[in-house]
Amino acid sequence: MLLWLLSSSLESESGFADVQNWLAAPLVKVVVWGILAGLLYHLIAGVKHLAMDMGIGETLEGAKTGAKLVVVISVIAIVLAGVWLW
């Protein structure tokens, strides 16, 4: 999906315009939002993993707060992505 958008947007002026039109369609926005949501959550949880690899937040309490933080930050990021798309 993302490769398709990239390919079309780089191909030509009209390809770029096509992508802009596609992105205007509500259904496409929902799909892109879904992809972004998954990616944002994965990214944020991944950063937490990297932190834990460095020894940050490895205790039971640390892990709990880490998990809550990931969820809260992810929700905020995903909502912002929605605002950006709409």
Partner 1 sequence: MVKNVTSFGRSGVSEWVVQRVSAAILGLYFVGLLAYMLLSPELSYAEWKALFSATWMRLASIAALLALCAHAWIGMWTVATDYLTEGLLGPKGTFIRFLFQAACVLLIFVYLVWGVQILWGL
Residues in contact with partner 1 by CB under 8 A are 3, 6-7, 9-10, 12-13, 16-17, 39, 43, 46-47, 49-50, 53, 84
Q: How far is CA 31 from CA 21, 22, 40, in A?
A: 15, 11, 14
- Shortest distance, CB of residue 75 to partner 1, whole angstroms? 17
Decide: 85 and 28 in contact? Cβ < 8 Å: no
In angstroms, the CA 16 to CA 23 distance is 11
**CB of 66 within 8 A of CB of 52?**
yes
For residues 43 and 67, which CB has a smaller minimum distance to partner 1 in the complex? 43
Of 49 and 68, which CB lies nearer to partner 1 in the complex structure? 49
The residue among 13 and 61 lying less far from partner 1, judged by its C-beta, is: 13
Rounded least distance, CB 66 to partner 1, Å: 16
**Closest distance to partner 1 from the beta carbon of 70 (Å):** 14
Angle at 75 between CA 70 and CA 81, to 5 degrees: 120
